[in-house]
Amino acid sequence: MTVQVGTDTAKTRRSLNAGGASVSYYSIAAASEAGLGDFSRLPAALKVVLENMLRFEDDGRTVSLDDIRAFAEWAEKGGRNPREIAYRPARVLMQDFTGVPAVVDLAAMRDGIKALGGDAQKINPLNPVDLVIDHSVMIDEFGNPRAFQHNVDREYERNMERYQFLKWGQTAFDNFRVVPPGTGICHQVNLEYLAQTVWTDKDQNGEEVAYPDTLVGTDSHTTMVNGAAVLGWGVGGIEAEAAMLGQPISMLIPEVVGFELTGRMMEGTTGTDLVLKVVEMLREKGVVGKFVEFYGKGLDNLPLADRATIANMAPEYGATCGFFPIDGETLRYLENTGRDKGRIALVEAYAKENGFWRGDDYAPIYTDTLSLDMGTIVPAISGPKRPQDFIALTEAARAFGEYVKGIRSGKDATPRAEIRWEGEGGAPEPVEIPGDEGHHVRGNVESPDGNYQLHDGSIVIASITSCTNTSNPYVMIGAGLVARKARERGLTRKPWVKTSLAPGSQVVSAYLEAADLQEDLDAIGFNLVGYGCTTCIGNSGPLAPEISKTINDADLIATSVLSGNRNFEGRISPDVRANYLASPPLVVAYALVGDMNVDISKASLGKDKDGNDVYLKDIWPTSKEIADLVEKTVTRESFQEKYADVFKGDERWQAVETPQSETYDWPPTSTYVQNPPYFQNMDPKPGKIEDIKSARVLAVLGDMITTDHISPAGSFKESSPAGQYLIDRQVPVREFNSYGSRRGNHEVMMRGTFANIRIRNEMLSGVEGGYTKGPDGEQTSIYDAAMAWQEKGVPLVVFGGEQYGAGSSRDWAAKGTALLGVKAVIAENFERIHRSNLVGMGVIPFEFTGGDTRTSLGLTGEEEVSILGLEDVKPLQEVPATIKMADGSEKQITLKCRIDTEVEIDYIKNGGVLHYVLRNLAAA
């Protein structure tokens, strides 16, 4: 990337010396001196955006002096001034699930621009792009020394077509690098290696310029890097592609909520417990679309690893980002993770010189604030299906019992029976299940590990996984110590628990081995299964056939416990209904008991070798034990060694063969990569926004419909439309892989849209899964119904409730919606990323007004919907809509159009942001 020098703001450019070198920078203080306003009390997170305005002010084409003055007005107005601005991040981060469709789109755009008479080389990233392959490894093998190698072998077998395509992209496109499989999770690689906190580059005059490191990523947990004072957040692949191609991100100057942290964590608690409480508090506060900045004296006691854990889960608390300013802990982390000494010196000098440093006098203006004493944090989990459902550990068993009772009430349930286990170590005591009252269901399993009985609450997956916690050496070392102490007492996992350890980087393995803890983890079943997202993204792999059969035959409410950030319905495993987020040490503890009904805060975890009860307190390490091992084993040298050849990959990656060509030669028989239809037969000129007339309803959905509901990432069955598509092309079920891995094939993804096994379409009664009513009024798959309506030339709409589109920054949730023929989504409100993605694909989001909802209007899905006044619609305008009911009567309502900015109007006129970019590039 070449730094663009502004014109009027060139006088704000100054220089500083750091680490023996001189660099230029854009001075916020100088902007104040130039009369542009008082910026001294802006939060650091907002100063990053302001600096971006100073650097890209260029004759008013994308940034004007009024845009810069608006930041001073933001402070004067108490932290609010929602002016539209054009923001340009320094770089883009991708993972393979979202990266493959992005590269597919770029390849298709090269074909498209040539068809319009343009130059294919104009389709090239202008900003640096790093794609980390981390979402493709599945846990087929576990609990033994061969698990890692077996899973890696299967990963390459399943994904060779995708990897060949990505390697082609690496050679075909400029500014595009690929981190090979088996390296780690993109956010952890970003935090530990790619991120610099302060970036440098040359301007068009060849001068070195320093500026804040910023990025957007095609994964919602891009926010993790905000723990290291790098401003970043997740966007859809569509928006990221536009950013790659030089398009600024259109956004409103955000509100910034200050979250004060005081005190220090108590003995026995972890950073995971803290973040689960933060998620609960901020969800209750309501911070969707806002920045959250953490401040307060408590930060002096909070390691950067814990900060990154909190920043990681910004999507779970709904914020755009959770930012931590630069301070001494930031510098310590950069030093410990092997960053260049000169870079660290520059970070300190730049932060202090340009007003980004969090010192004792740091007291910015915030839009709103809230506070938390970290000394009040208790051990906790969250679940069973939302990250914000915080449960103190002491209440976990009771809460699960109530959850089961709610599901089973009114249903027939088998009588209560004792758990029988005939494996080694003798049979455990019968488990008393809180709130049972005949509501719990059971089923018998005959297994090579012994015969036993599963019931509602049996934990069948316990997984140490995800960037959220495996990036944190304090909780990982803690998990290893729990395993060591459990092993010493003779405890091990229950035979029905599928255990796994999937670190976010190879550095984790290095320090676990240096601490001699990996052997202890292996001994109780937590063998290394791969370096990647695994269970957190739904790649938990199959359960043992006898366990899966028992769960499904008896309709059990099986559970999982994972150290991840997402536990949405249908995400973790098709066999598991209740999913709980927990710290890695608690994941180990739950594997020992294998039962969510056990109150592990006080009940026995099992018997030791002498027949004595062992309790959680007996195997829980002290904070000092953990800190001493972290200090001893997590070293600068280990980071430098593991990241020395980060882009090289192993022999398998190096052996992947790929063609070298300007455009991609789409293999006609590929079931992984297909040329999407977006740019085929495209008119060189944009169209206009048209009214929606007599649209039919494809689905009526409830509250908290996540992008996992709309576009699932995990496995799918032979009987599904996607499964039938693959069967028709002679793909055996064993090779289906996952929806996420097939995001380069629009035919699979269209069939997977609204196909989550737990989604409930209110047009049907008591039916789960991707079903609706077709034109004939009969139940059918959503895909088949959509195709039938398309044949008739009938537009479609979808209705939803609150927080529509929560969760992952999954562009296919919008792409699939558009390809099914949906012209509008009408909901009570939208999560930030999905709203943007819908607009980016030409689908208009609308919100109910005046207290109207799908339920108050009595919608059944039999209605016809017309939305007028769209030809000249303005951002956030209210428009009239007519709903023709099944009985012929009509209801007139008003909808708020959630096209939020002027540039989004242009996106909709063009049919999407990529069409807009392509037409502009072709015309140029």
The single-letter code of the amino acid at 480 is G
Confidence of residue 61 (pLDDT cuts 50, 70, 90): low
- Tens digits of per-residue pLDDT, 92-129? 999 988 888 899 999 999 999 999 999 999 999 989 99
Residue 364, pLDDT above cutoff 60 = yes
- Average model confidence (pLDDT) for the chain? 91
Exposed, middle or buried, 130 (CB in 10 Å: 0-12/13-18/19+)?
buried
| 879 contact partners, CB below 8 Å, separation of at least 6 | 846, 867, 868, 869, 870, 873, 894, 895, 897
CATH 3.40.30.10 fits 392-638, yes or no: no
Confidence of residue 432 (pLDDT cuts 50, 70, 90): very low
Q: Look at domain 692-711+753-923 and name its CATH class.
A: alpha beta
- Mark 177-209 as b/e (b = at least 16 C-beta within 10 Å): ebbbbbbbbbbbbbbbbbbbbbbbeeeeeeeeb
- Tens digits of per-residue pLDDT, 627-655? 999 999 999 999 999 999 999 988 999 99
Residue 172, pLDDT above cutoff 90 = yes
Contact present, 550 and 445 (Cβ < 8 Å): yes
Residue 738, pLDDT above cutoff 60 = yes
Contact present, 90 and 211 (Cβ < 8 Å): yes
Confidence of residue 448 (pLDDT cuts 50, 70, 90): low
Cα–Cα distances (Å) from 41 to 1, 70, 229, in that order, read 30, 14, 17
Residue 429, pLDDT above cutoff 70 = no
Contact present, 800 and 678 (Cβ < 8 Å): no
The single-letter code of the amino acid at 334 is L
Q: How far apart are CA 46 and CA 245, in angstroms?
A: 24
Contact present, 98 and 907 (Cβ < 8 Å): no
Which pLDDT value is given to residue 447? 65
Confidence of residue 306 (pLDDT cuts 50, 70, 90): very high
Q: How far apart are CA 575 and CA 445, in angstroms?
A: 15
Q: How far apart are CA 551 and CA 577, in angstroms?
A: 10
Cα angle 769-773-775, degrees, rounded to a multiple of 5: 145
- Tens digits of per-residue pLDDT, 546-594? 999 999 999 999 999 999 887 877 788 989 999 999 999 999 999 999 9
The single-letter code of the amino acid at 223 is T
- Lowest-confidence pick of 34-38, 658-662, 875-879: 658-662
Domain boundaries, the chain: 8-87, 392-638, 692-711+753-923
Contact present, 486 and 592 (Cβ < 8 Å): yes
Measuring CA to CA, which residue among 616, 601, 575, 594 is closest to residue 457?
594
Q: Which three-class secondary structure state does DSSP give residue 236?
A: coil
Cα angle 323-325-331, degrees, rounded to a multiple of 5: 120
Mean pLDDT within 518-533: 94
Which pLDDT value is given to residue 424? 38
| Listed ranges 204-213, 675-684, 685-694; the one with the highest mean pLDDT | 685-694
Listed in order, strand segments (DSSP E) in 767-849 are 771-773, 779-781, 796-799, 822-827, 844-848
Q: How far apart are CA 199 and CA 346, in angstroms?
A: 9
Which pLDDT value is given to residue 441? 63
Q: In sequence order, which ranges of 379-528 are alpha helices (DSSP H)?
A: 396-408, 467-470, 473-488, 506-514, 518-523
Mean pLDDT within 190-217: 93
Residue located via tokens 């040298």: 637
What DSSP character marks residue 634? -
Confidence of residue 543 (pLDDT cuts 50, 70, 90): very high
- Between 411 and 323, the more confident residue is 323
The single-letter code of the amino acid at 511 is Y
Q: How far apart are CA 566 and CA 185, in angstroms?
A: 15
In sequence order, the β-bridge partners of residue 709 are none
Kindly write down the DSSP assignment for every residue of 331-376, as one continuous string. Answer: HHHHHHTT--HHHHHHHHHHHHHTT-B--TT-----SEEEEEEGGG
Measuring CA to CA, which residue among 642, 324, 626, 584 is closest to residue 467?
584
Measuring CA to CA, which residue among 608, 625, 597, 607 is closest to residue 479?
625
Contact present, 748 and 722 (Cβ < 8 Å): yes
Q: How far apart are CA 722 and CA 740, in angstroms?
A: 12
Confidence of residue 443 (pLDDT cuts 50, 70, 90): low
Phi, psi angle pair for 182, to nearest 5°: 80, 10
Q: How far apart are CA 669 and CA 114, in angstroms?
A: 24
Which pLDDT value is given to residue 13? 93
Kindly write down the DSSP assignment for every residue of 385-405, as one continuous string. Answer: S-TT-EEEGGGHHHHHHHHHH
| 462 contact partners, CB below 8 Å, separation of at least 6 | 493, 497, 498, 499, 500, 560, 561, 562, 587, 588, 590, 591
Measuring CA to CA, which residue among 743, 706, 708, 670 is closest to residue 94?
743
Residue 2, pLDDT above cutoff 50 = no
Q: How far apart are CA 646 and CA 181, in angstroms?
A: 10
Residue 419, pLDDT above cutoff 60 = no
Helix axes 473-488, 506-514, angle to 10 degrees: 40
Residue 920, pLDDT above cutoff 50 = yes
Measuring CA to CA, which residue among 433, 410, 388, 431 is closest to residue 282?
388
What DSSP character marks residue 266? P
Which pLDDT value is given to residue 416? 31
Residue 87, pLDDT above cutoff 60 = yes
Phi-psi region of 705 (alpha: psi -120 to 50; beta: other; left: phi over 0): beta
Residue 483, pLDDT above cutoff 80 = yes
- Percent of the chain whose predicted confidence (pLDDT) is above 70: 94
- Lowest-confidence pick of 4-18, 178-192, 760-774, 860-874: 4-18
- Between 668 and 46, the more confident residue is 46
Q: How far apart are CA 348 and CA 345, in angstroms?
A: 5
Which pLDDT value is given to residue 420? 37
Q: In sequence order, which ranges of 634-671 are alpha helices (DSSP H)?
A: 636-642, 651-654
Distance of CA 727 to the CA centre of its chain: 30
Exposed, middle or buried, 363 (CB in 10 Å: 0-12/13-18/19+)?
exposed
- Tens digits of per-residue pLDDT, 229-280? 999 999 878 888 888 888 888 889 999 999 999 999 999 999 999 999 999 9
Residue 672, pLDDT above cutoff 50 = yes
Confidence of residue 823 (pLDDT cuts 50, 70, 90): very high
Kindly write down the DSSP assignment for every residue of 217-229, as one continuous string. Answer: ESSGGGGGGGGGT
Which pLDDT value is given to residue 423? 38
Contact present, 771 and 782 (Cβ < 8 Å): yes
Confidence of residue 733 (pLDDT cuts 50, 70, 90): very high
Give the number of other CB atoms < 10 A from CB of residue 906: 16
Which tokens go with 469? 């916690």
Which pLDDT value is given to residue 430? 40
Which tokens go with 37? 């306003």
- Tens digits of per-residue pLDDT, 688-709? 999 999 999 999 999 999 999 9
Exposed, middle or buried, 810 (CB in 10 Å: 0-12/13-18/19+)?
buried
Which pLDDT value is given to residue 10? 65
Mean pLDDT within 439-454: 70
Size of the chain in residues: 924
Q: How far apart are CA 463 and CA 233, in angstroms?
A: 26
Contact present, 866 and 882 (Cβ < 8 Å): yes
Which pLDDT value is given to residue 216? 95
DSSP collapsed to 3 states, 31-67: HHHCCCCCCCCCCHHHHHHHHHHHHHCCCCCCCCHHH
Contact present, 539 and 567 (Cβ < 8 Å): no
Instruction: Give rounded-to-5 percent helix, strand, coil for the chain.
Output: 35, 20, 45
Q: How far apart are CA 646 and CA 711, in angstroms?
A: 31
Which tokens go with 915? 């069409």
Residue 1, pLDDT above cutoff 80 = no
